[in-house]
Structure 1
Amino acid sequence: MSRSWFEIFIGALLEVIWVSAMKHSHSLISAVIVIAILIFSFYLMIDASKNIPAGTTYAVYVGLGSLFVVLAGVLVYHESFSWARLFFIILLTIGVIGLKVVTDIEERQAH
C-alpha cells in the first residue's frame, strides 16, 4: 500500500477516535485533544490528496471513517445492530475498495 493510501487509512482510524472522544469530552483539555486529533486526521487526508485525486481521497476517507465509526458503535458502544445496517456497511466497503482499485488502475495507465 502506498504512503498516501496508508495516510487515508490512518486518518480514517483517527476519525473514530475524535468522533468517539467528542461524545465524552467534558473539559477544555479533552476538547483541545479532540481538536488536535481532528486536525492531524485532516492533515493526513490533505497530504494524501497530493498523490491521489481529491475526490477519491475524500470519498475513501469519509467512507472508511463512516465504516469504522459504525463498526465501533456496534462493537464498542453496543449500538443497535440490524441486517440492513450490515448490508449498507458491506455496500460502503465495496464502494471504497472499488475506488481504490479504479484509482490504482488509472495511475498505472497514466504512466
Structure 2
Amino acid sequence: MNWFILVIAGLCEVAFTTCLGKAKEAVGSLYWTWMGAFLFFLTLSMVLLYKATQTLPLGTAYAVWTGIGAVGTVLIGIVFFREPATFWRLFFIATLISSIVGLKFVSSH
C-alpha cells in the first residue's frame, strides 16, 4: 500500500511542477488559480511522501518520488510545453525509469 501512496505522491509532484509551468504563462486571476493548485499539490505530495516513508526506506522512497517527478515532468514538458524530445533526453528518461524499477525490486520492504 505504501508503494501506491508513493506513486501518488510522485504524480502530485508532476502536478505541482506542471502548475508552475502554467502559472509562468498565466496572468491575473488565472495566475493565482495555478499558484493555488501548485500549493495544494505540493502539500499533498509532501504529506503522501511522509506517509510512505513510515514503512519504506527513506532513501529509496525519496529516490523513487523524485524519479517519478522528474520523468513525469519531462514528459509533460515534451507533450504540453513543446520541449525538445531528443534521443539523449529519452535515453536518460528510460535509464531513470529502469533505476526506479530497480530500486523497488531491491528494496527490503
For 1:17 and 1:39, locate their aligned partners in 2 and report how far apart those are by CA, in whole Å: 11
What is aligned with 1:17? Answer: 15
Residues 1:46 and 1:71: Cα distance change in structure 2 (over 3 Å) = same
State TM-score, norm by structure 2: 0.86
1:92 counterpart SS class: helix
2:4 counterpart SS class: helix
Q: 5+ residue gaps in structure 1?
A: none
What is aligned with 2:93? Answer: 89
Q: 5+ residue gaps in structure 2?
A: none
What value does the CA root-mean-square deviation take over the aligned residues? 1.3
Offset of 1:91 from its aligned partner? 0.6
For 1:28 and 1:78, locate their aligned partners in 2 and report how far apart those are by CA, in whole Å: 23
Number of positions where the alignment pairs a residue of Structure 1 with one of Structure 2:
103
State TM-score, norm by structure 1: 0.85
For 2:36 and 2:46, locate their aligned partners in 1 and report how far apart those are by CA, in whole Å: 15
% identical aligned pairs? 31
Q: Which of residues 1, 4, 14 is equivalent to 1:6?
A: 4
Stretches (4+) displaced over 6 A: none
